Amino acid sequence: MTRSKPQRRTGAGARINADNIWVYRVIVILVVAAGLSGVIMSWSGQLYVAAWFELPPEFSWTVPVAFDIPIATLALSSLAMKSRGREGTAFWFTVLAIVFTVMSSAANFLYVSSHSHLADYQAWTGAVGKAAAPFITLVMSEVLGALVTRPAGERGLLAKRTAELKAVKTELAKLKRTPKAAPTALPLQRGIARVGGEQFDVEASPSNFDRAGVSA
The answer to whether residue 37 is domain-embedded is: yes
The answer to whether residue 178 is domain-embedded is: no
Whole-structure pTM value: 0.59
- Is the per-residue pLDDT at 7 higher than 70? no
37 & 129 share domain: yes
Distance CA(147)–CA(30), nearest Å, equals 12
85 & 123 share domain: yes
Q: Judge residue 118's burial from the number of C-beta atoms within 10 Å of its C-beta, 0-12 exposed, 13-18 middle, 19 or more buried.
A: middle
113 & 202 share domain: no
Q: What is the pLDDT of residues 26-78, one digit of tens each?
A: 888 998 899 888 888 888 888 888 888 888 888 888 988 988 889 988 988 88
- Is the per-residue pLDDT at 212 higher than 60? no
CA angle 51, 121, 130 (to 5 degrees): 40
Q: What is the pLDDT of residues 108-142, one digit of tens each?
A: 898 888 877 878 888 888 889 889 989 998 998 88
Query: How many domains does the chain fold into?
Result: 2
114 & 214 share domain: no
User: Domain range holding 151?
Assistant: 21-156
Distance CA(191)–CA(213), nearest Å, equals 10
CB 129 within 8 A of CB 42: no
Give the H or E element holding residue 200. Answer: strand 198-204
The answer to whether residue 164 is domain-embedded is: no
